[in-house]
């Protein structure tokens, strides 16, 4: 009887846990239908549709179209040049093009606003060189929709570059050699052969970049662009209308779901397009002279704009405010950020291990569906997750206060919504997918025969996990923890909404300083976030390099076997 009860708990633990993780998203979805049912809520929804949603939709679509076009241009061109061409510096560029991923978009927005403002270094240099004064020249305004498009594009293009480059590497030598035999130039080979084969991968990368665009709050808020994310903040805090904020969040969630469907379809199509896996890669075109300089410049420009210039500006600001590094308040910000990130990473890794090991032990459609549902949070904007978390937590606090007053005459205060528990739960919903994917890939490399061997030796399932799997999963668990740690440090909208009173982090400090137009004072906090953001970029570049080396070794095995077999035949 006890064994049956334990089996039932194991069977239903994953669906129950997945339902808890998806609770904020269910709250947001339910808010839309509640809005259709209630008269007061219908009035709110009608007001939103009549006065503000049109503006939000227009600006959001313009932002997505601009970012989509620019990240496609930057990502595809750099991926093709670093894959199909050989020129001086290409090896360095292959990993340098990943560096903008370490720079959060809102921090890049702050740096360019400081550099390109009237008092900034660029305009000050122009006035000094040409003896200009105010009103003597025209300079474009960076804090605009166009500026937001440029900033987001130069930060997010590595998504397209990374996935498209992987697709180009999978294209076989035979296909490209055939195009050369037919007399096609490198440009025509790219346009007629390589690009059509890589379209699903390009669509996947662009979709991921657009998801990040929809989720952005810091950039569009600072640049004065009204989108759905800024609208949710304004409706909740500025107008004091949580119902309207939830309804806006439900509309934003629908757009994200559409992008998720497009991304899944693109990934499925890429499996069929890459039918040449395992074949020899195409020989690169050798570029020399001005062509090599042009190729290097085209690839270096996104790195310069997306990472080097903002990093230099942050270092300059940090150097001007060296006293900040010795400020006890700044040390408290660092401790708060590390404390939150460590707790969140530990929590997400443990729950991810529970999901992945449960799926391994019982690989049924039910468990796989539970894991997939628990993994959708990473694609959901942080502001949507935060709004979905605060509503049920606030309701629970109200019920607890009412019960405590009626029974004991004591007001316990806000137990959930007013503490870091709400923040940790939001981080869990948002970043659990990162841990699940990392831990699941690590478990996939462990042979099922090892599980069987453990059971034959009389080990329980928990002992198999702790004695066999855990030692082999240390690298995957550590990687998952590091990725979540850095994501939590960079997360802005969820932290802004859910943080307890008088509890700040590095991201919040940078946001507040920038909001007060004290950009230089935001430098130290922003620089700390960027330094932490370099860690996953380094891990990613090493993983890509190791994977490429292993593939090259596998591809040379037939040739080595032939060399070994040749003397035997003789």
Task: Over range 270-282, report the average pLDDT.
Answer: 53
Would you say residue 7 lies in a domain?
no
Residue with tokens 């906090």: 525
> Partners of 286 in the beta sheet?
86
- Could you tell me how many helices (H) and strands (E) the chain has, helices first? 27, 2
- The predicted-structure confidence for 444-478, as pLDDT tens digits, reads as follows 777 777 777 777 777 777 777 777 777 878 888 88
Q: Which domain holds residue 478?
A: 13-268+291-552
Would you say residue 492 lies in a domain?
yes
- CATH number where 372 lies: 1.10.3720.10
Upper half-sphere CA count for residue 267 (Cβ side, 13 Å): 9
What does the block give as tokens for 250?
């439900």
pLDDT above 50 (res 561): no
- Burial profile 103-127: b = 16 or more Cβ within 10 angstroms, e = fewer: bbbbbbbbbbbbbbbeebeebeeee
Residue 86: how many CB atoms within 10 A of its CB? 17
What does the block give as tokens for 318?
């940090």
SS3 172: strand
pLDDT above 70 (res 547): no
Query: Among 85-89, 112-116, 232-236, 385-389, where is mean pLDDT lowest?
Result: 232-236
Question: pLDDT exceeding 90 applies to what percent of the chain?
Answer: 28
pLDDT of residue 569: 44
Would you say residue 205 lies in a domain?
yes
DSSP H or E segment with residue 429: helix 420-444
Q: Which phi and psi angles does 285 have, rounded to 5°? A: -75, 130
SS3 86: strand
Would you say residue 420 lies in a domain?
yes
Residue with tokens 């890429």: 270
Chain centroid to Cα 16, Å, comes to 26
pLDDT above 90 (res 75): yes
Would you say residue 283 lies in a domain?
no
pLDDT of residue 379: 79
| Pick from 161, 42, 27, 156: nearest CA to 94 | 161
Going by C-beta distance under 8 Å and a sequence separation of 6 or more, which residues neighbour residue 515? 222
Distances (CA, A) of 534 to 104, 486, 487, 513, 537: 11, 9, 11, 23, 5
Would you say residue 235 lies in a domain?
yes
- The predicted-structure confidence for 176-210, as pLDDT tens digits, reads as follows 666 666 666 667 777 777 778 888 888 888 988 99
Going by C-beta distance under 8 Å and a sequence separation of 6 or more, which residues neighbour residue 414? 394, 397
Number of domains in the chain: 1
User: DSSP state, 281?
Assistant: B
User: pLDDT grade, residue 5 (50/70/90)?
Assistant: low
DSSP H or E segment with residue 85: strand 85-86
Chain centroid to Cα 361, Å, comes to 30
Would you say residue 543 lies in a domain?
yes
pLDDT of residue 44: 64
- The predicted-structure confidence for 327-369, as pLDDT tens digits, reads as follows 888 999 999 999 999 999 999 999 998 888 888 887 788 888 8
| Pick from 248, 85, 59: nearest CA to 165 | 85
CA pair distance 416, 425, nearest whole angstrom: 10
Task: Over range 280-291, report the average pLDDT.
Answer: 77
Query: Among 144-148, 289-293, 378-382, 485-489, where is mean pLDDT lowest?
Result: 378-382
Q: Which phi and psi angles does 172 have, rounded to 5°? A: -80, 160
pLDDT above 90 (res 285): no
pLDDT of residue 176: 66
Chain centroid to Cα 380, Å, comes to 10
pLDDT of residue 367: 84
pLDDT of residue 173: 61
Would you say residue 567 lies in a domain?
no
Q: Return the higher-pLDDT residue of 418 and 216.
A: 216
pLDDT of residue 120: 83
- The predicted-structure confidence for 144-177, as pLDDT tens digits, reads as follows 999 999 999 999 999 999 888 888 887 766 666 6
Q: Return the higher-pLDDT residue of 559 and 132.
A: 132
pLDDT above 80 (res 555): no
CA pair distance 249, 6, nearest whole angstrom: 39
pLDDT above 70 (res 564): no
pLDDT above 50 (res 6): yes
Residue with tokens 């093009």: 97
User: pLDDT grade, residue 309 (50/70/90)?
Assistant: very high
């Amino acid at each position: 009887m006890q064994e049956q009860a334990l089996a039932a708990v194991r069977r239903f633990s994953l669906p129950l846990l997945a339902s808890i993780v998806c609770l904020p998203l269910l709250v947001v979805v339910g808010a839309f239908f509640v809005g259709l049912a209630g008269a007061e809520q219908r009035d709110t929804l009608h007001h939103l549709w009549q006065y503000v949603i049109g503006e939000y939709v227009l600006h959001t679509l313009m932002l997505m179209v601009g970012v989509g076009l620019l990240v496609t241009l930057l990502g595809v061109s750099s991926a093709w040049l670093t894959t199909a061409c050989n020129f001086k510096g290409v090896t360095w560029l292959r990993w340098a093009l990943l560096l903008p991923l370490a720079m959060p978009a809102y921090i890049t927005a702050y740096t360019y606003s400081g550099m390109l403002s009237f008092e900034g270094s660029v305009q000050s240099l122009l006035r000094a060189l040409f003896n200009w004064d105010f009103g003597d020249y025209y300079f474009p305004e960076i804090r605009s929709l166009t500026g937001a498009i440029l900033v987001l594009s130069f930060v997010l293009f590595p998504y397209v570059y990374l996935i498209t480059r992987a697709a180009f590497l999978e294209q076989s030598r035979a296909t490209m050699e055939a195009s050369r035999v037919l007399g096609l130039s490198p440009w025509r080979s790219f346009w007629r052969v390589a690009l059509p084969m890589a379209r699903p991968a390009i669509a996947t990368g662009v979709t991921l970049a657009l998801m990040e665009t929809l989720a952005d709050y810091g950039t569009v808020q600072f640049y004065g662009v009204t989108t759905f994310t800024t609208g949710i903040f304004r409706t909740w805090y500025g107008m004091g209308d949580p119902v309207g904020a939830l309804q806006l969040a439900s509309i934003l969630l629908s757009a994200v779901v559409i992008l998720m469907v497009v991304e899944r379809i693109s990934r499925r199509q890429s499996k069929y397009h890459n039918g040449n896996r395992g074949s020899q890669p195409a020989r690169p075109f050798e570029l020399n002279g001005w062509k090599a300089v042009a190729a290097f410049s085209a690839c270096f420009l996104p790195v310069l704009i997306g990472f080097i210039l903002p990093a230099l500006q942050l270092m300059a600001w940090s150097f001007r405010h060296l006293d900040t590094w010795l400020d006890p308040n700044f040390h408290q910000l660092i401790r708060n950020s590390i404390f939150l990130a460590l707790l969140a990473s530990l929590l997400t890794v443990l729950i991810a291990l529970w999901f992945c090991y449960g799926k391994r032990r019982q690989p049924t459609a039910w468990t796989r569906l539970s894991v997939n549902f628990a993994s959708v949070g990473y694609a959901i904007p942080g502001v949507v997750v935060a709004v979905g978390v605060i509503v049920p937590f606030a309701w629970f606090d109200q019920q607890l206060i009412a019960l405590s007053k009626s029974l004991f005459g004591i007001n316990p205060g806000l137990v959930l919504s007013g503490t870091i528990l709400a923040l940790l739960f939001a981080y869990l919903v948002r970043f659990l997918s990162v841990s699940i994917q990392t831990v699941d890939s690590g478990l996939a490399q462990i042979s099922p025969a090892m599980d069987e061997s453990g059971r034959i030796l009389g080990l329980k399932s928990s002992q198999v996990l702790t004695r066999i799997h855990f030692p082999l999963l240390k690298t995957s668990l550590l990687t998952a923890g590091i990725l979540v740690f850095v994501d939590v440090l960079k997360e802005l909208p969820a932290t802004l909404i859910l943080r307890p009173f008088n509890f700040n982090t590095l991201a919040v400090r940078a946001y507040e300083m920038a909001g007060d137009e004290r950009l230089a004072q935001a430098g130290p906090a922003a620089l700390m976030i960027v330094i932490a953001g370099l860690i996953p970029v380094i891990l990613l570049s090493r993983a890509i390099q190791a994977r490429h080396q292993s593939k090259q070794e596998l591809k040379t095995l037939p040739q080595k076997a032939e060399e070994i077999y040749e003397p035997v035949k003789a």
